[in-house]
Amino acid sequence: MFHYCLTVSYVGTRYLGWQIQPESYGKTIQGEINLALQKISKSTNIKTLGSGRTDTGVHAMGQVVKATIPLEINPRNLLKAMNSHLPEDIRVLEASLSSDEFIPTVHAKSKEYHYRFSTNEIHPPFAEHLITHYPYDIDLEAMKAACQIFIGEHDFTNFFVEGTPVSSFVREIFECEIIEVPANELFPSYYVFRVVGSGFLKQMVRLMVGAIWRVGRGRVTLEELQNSLSPMKQEKLGAVAPGHGLYLMRVNY
């Protein structure tokens, strides 16, 4: 068997997320990638492993995927073949040889996520599936201060939605900020909540955004946010922000 490392970008809108599901449930990113690999290698004996799951509607700029197939092929040609078989909303951006030992989940040193949202009164049609509409007056300075509180090692029990059991709720956040993106050719101005961390629990980023939004509207204080990162009390500070604003940007190894 031969191992390849792929950097994959996708628009999550049409998919049930990364993880392959029974066909009757609907399409997934992994399902589409597996299908392309099966066609290219003319074999069903293929295996893919992503750096992590992305949920329904969530996008990726740089998902990292290890593909194991019974075909020796120049990575450059694998990339071209995959992009000719994959639907246009999934693209392989880079391909290289991978070692047998590489495990995209375990070996990731950090991941970067962006969450895009706009507070403009009218949400432009082009932003429908790409930027979340949050048409409220927000206190940007309070939200920026909230980002600072997330930085460091914390217990994220309150930023986790039940799913696959995990051994620890402690994660380290290396960078966390809000970037103001000016209007461009296609979109009016919007905000990016940018976070880099050692790893993320299920729906953790979207719960962080939900909490930050409530801080921005004066419904949650910075002190309450601080307290929610201690394991003393179990309480979600806000809703899970919608999936379509979230982007897995990069996985660092």
Which positions are catalytic?
Answer: 55
Kindly state the smallest distance separating residue 20's Cβ from a copy of itself, in Å.
Answer: 19
The count of residues interacting with a copy of itself (CB under 8 A) is 26
Kindly state the smallest distance separating residue 221's Cβ from a copy of itself, in Å.
Answer: 31
Cα–Cα distance list, 42 to 6, 20, 31, 65, 73 (Å): 19, 20, 16, 20, 13
The amino acid occupying position 246 is L
Tell which one of 26, 47, 103, 128 touches a copy of itself (CB under 8 A): 128
Q: What is the DSSP letter of 133?
A: E
Closer residue to a copy of itself, CB minimum distance, 72 or 128: 128
Tell which one of 119, 169, 187, 240 touches a copy of itself (CB under 8 A): 187
Torsions phi, psi of 231, nearest 5? -80, 10
Does residue 64 bind a copy of itself (CB under 8 A)?
A: no
Contact present, 96 and 75 (Cβ < 8 Å): yes
Does residue 24 bind a copy of itself (CB under 8 A)?
A: no
Tell which one of 41, 52, 59, 246 touches a copy of itself (CB under 8 A): 59
Closer residue to a copy of itself, CB minimum distance, 106 or 122: 122
Q: Which stretch binds a copy of itself (CB under 8 A): 30-38, 39-47, 185-193, 206-214?
A: 185-193
Nearest to 62 by CA among 97, 106, 10, 1: 10
Tell which one of 22, 99, 106, 122 touches a copy of itself (CB under 8 A): 122
Kindly state the smallest distance separating residue 44's Cβ from a copy of itself, in Å.
Answer: 26
What DSSP letter does each residue of 151-178 carry, written as one string?
Answer: SEEEE-GGG--S-S--S--EEEEEEEEE
Closer residue to a copy of itself, CB minimum distance, 89 or 155: 89
* Secondary structure (3-state) at 196: strand
Please state, in angstroms and rounded to a whole number, the distance separating the CA atoms of residues 77 and 81: 6
Tell which one of 110, 181, 217, 236 touches a copy of itself (CB under 8 A): 181
Does residue 125 bind a copy of itself (CB under 8 A)?
A: yes
Does residue 85 bind a copy of itself (CB under 8 A)?
A: no
* Secondary structure (3-state) at 231: coil
Does residue 39 bind a copy of itself (CB under 8 A)?
A: no
Kindly state the smallest distance separating residue 153's Cβ from a copy of itself, in Å.
Answer: 29
Q: Where are the alpha helices (DSSP H) in the chain?
A: 29-41, 75-85, 140-150, 204-216, 222-228
Nearest to 5 by CA among 84, 62, 83: 62
Does residue 184 bind a copy of itself (CB under 8 A)?
A: yes
Please state, in angstroms and rounded to a whole number, the distance separating the CA atoms of residues 116 and 132: 6
Q: In the complex, which residues of this chain contact a copy of itself (CB under 8 A)?
A: 9-11, 59, 83, 88-93, 114, 116, 122-126, 128, 130, 181, 184-187, 192
